[in-house]
């Protein structure tokens, strides 16, 4: 069995609020810890992030002199607030546009260390087998956080289902749609809930990690899949600003971008997760 700590969504919600308040109330919230003793605890989404970290822990960490512990989180908030307040030493679950938006809105000071992989965003359906079969008035579920909603809409735009306003960035919403020939309706849900919506909507745009953890195979099951070429949404190891110099973090960054990890990602995920190094 994997040596991980699993945390329920309900506990996370309460924890996120508590941690957020702690971070906001701290007078030196931008300063990083200088205590680099003990294990490096990394907050991660269960799939594929924790799986990749567990591979490192089992096969590479001991030889590199790294004591690594993995904590699994099922939301996109608590890993950053826990990293900010020092409950964990690093996290691995997010991309740059999401982090930029999170830091701006929450006053946190999280910075990327090394990019490891990309999880292509996909459009899935239990009701149609091809994107052209989506009927007029179909309901499409999309993530409700700022960056992933924009990313979902850009995916639909790239595949001719809608047209977004020219120049729209990572804060696009359905209000920025200038053409909607199929009169699609949008259901905005927490990203983790989008796979569960597939029986209730005509289609759903689902983040790669949630697709995989729900049994979907993005490379095979997606009606359309985000291109990996020049994609800004690579997922990275991140720390609180100042902790980039932590020797444990440096060791982990090197291991996460090793040939062994690249092969593990390619073999295990078969194109549903793509190495970014």
**Which pLDDT band, with edges at 50, 70 and 90, does 24 fall under?**
very low
pLDDT tens readout for residues 39-78: 999 999 999 999 999 999 999 999 999 999 999 999 999 9
Query: Counting Cβ atoms within 10 Å, is residue 35 exposed (0-12), middle (13-18) or buried (19+)?
Result: exposed
At 49 the three-state DSSP class reads: helix
Contact 235, 47 (CB under 8 A): no
Predicted pLDDT of residue 11: 36
Q: How does the average pLDDT of the chain come out, rounded?
A: 89
pLDDT for 13 beyond 60: no
pLDDT tens readout for residues 146-195: 999 999 999 999 999 999 999 998 889 999 999 999 999 999 999 999 99
Q: d(Cα 21, Cα 239) in Å, to the nearest integer?
A: 19
Domain 4-120+232-275 identical in fold to domain 122-225: yes
pLDDT for 14 beyond 70: no
Q: What are phi and psi of 235, to 5 degrees?
A: -90, 140
**Which pLDDT band, with edges at 50, 70 and 90, does 34 fall under?**
low
- Give the whole-number percent of the chain exceeding pLDDT 70: 88
Taking only Cα atoms into account, the Rg of the chain, rounded to an integer number of angstroms, comes to: 19
CB within 8 A of 264, min separation 6: which ones? 52, 55
**Which pLDDT band, with edges at 50, 70 and 90, does 109 fall under?**
very high
CATH class of the domain at 4-120+232-275: alpha beta
β-sheet with 139-143: strand ranges across: 185-189, 139-143, 203-206, 122-124, 224-225
Contact 150, 139 (CB under 8 A): no
CATH of domain 122-225: 3.40.190.10
Question: Strand 90-94 to strand 235-240: parallel, antiparallel, or no bridges (unpaired)?
Answer: antiparallel
**Which pLDDT band, with edges at 50, 70 and 90, does 17 fall under?**
very low
Write out the two tokens for 268.
């295990």
94: closest CA among 162, 146, 138? 146
17: closest CA among 144, 110, 106? 106
Where exactly are the structural domains of the chain? 4-120+232-275, 122-225
The alpha carbon of residue 191 and the mean position of all alpha carbons in its chain are separated, in whole angstroms, by: 9
Neighbour tally for 64: CB within 10 Å = 14
User: What residue has token string 């006053």?
Assistant: 107
DSSP label at residue 46: I
pLDDT for 18 beyond 90: no
């Amino acid at each position: 069995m994997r040596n991980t700590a699993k945390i329920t969504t309900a506990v996370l919600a309460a924890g996120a609020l508590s941690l957020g308040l702690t971070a906001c109330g701290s007078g030196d919230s931008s300063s990083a810890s200088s205590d680099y003793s003990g294990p490096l605890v990394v907050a991660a989404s269960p799939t594929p992030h924790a799986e990749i970290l567990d591979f490192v822990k089992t096969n590479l960490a001991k030889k590199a002199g790294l004591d690594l512990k993995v904590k699994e989180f099922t939301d996109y908030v608590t890993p950053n607030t826990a990293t900010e307040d020092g409950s964990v030493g690093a996290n691995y679950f997010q991309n740059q546009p999401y982090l930029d938006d999170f830091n701006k809105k929450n006053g946190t000071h999280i910075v990327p260390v090394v990019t490891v992989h990309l999880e292509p965003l996909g459009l899935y359906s239990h009701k149609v087998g091809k994107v052209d079969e989506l009927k007029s008035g179909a309901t499409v579920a999309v993530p409700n956080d700022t960056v992933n909603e924009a990313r979902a809409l850009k995916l639909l735009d790239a595949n001719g289902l809608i047209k977004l306003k020219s120049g729209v960035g990572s804060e696009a919403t359905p209000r920025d749609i200038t053409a909607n020939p199929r009169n699609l309706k949008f259901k905005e849900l927490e990203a983790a809930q989008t796979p569960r919506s597939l029986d209730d909507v005509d289609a759903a745009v689902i983040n790669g990690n949630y697709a995989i953890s729900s049994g979907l195979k993005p490379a095979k099951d997606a009606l359309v899949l985000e291109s990996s070429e020049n994609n800004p949404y690579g997922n990275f190891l991140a720390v609180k600003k100042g902790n980039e110099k932590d020797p444990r973090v440096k060791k982990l960054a090197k291991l996460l971008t090793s040939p062994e990890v690249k092969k593990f990602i390619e073999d295990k995920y078969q194109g549903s997760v793509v190495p970014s190094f």
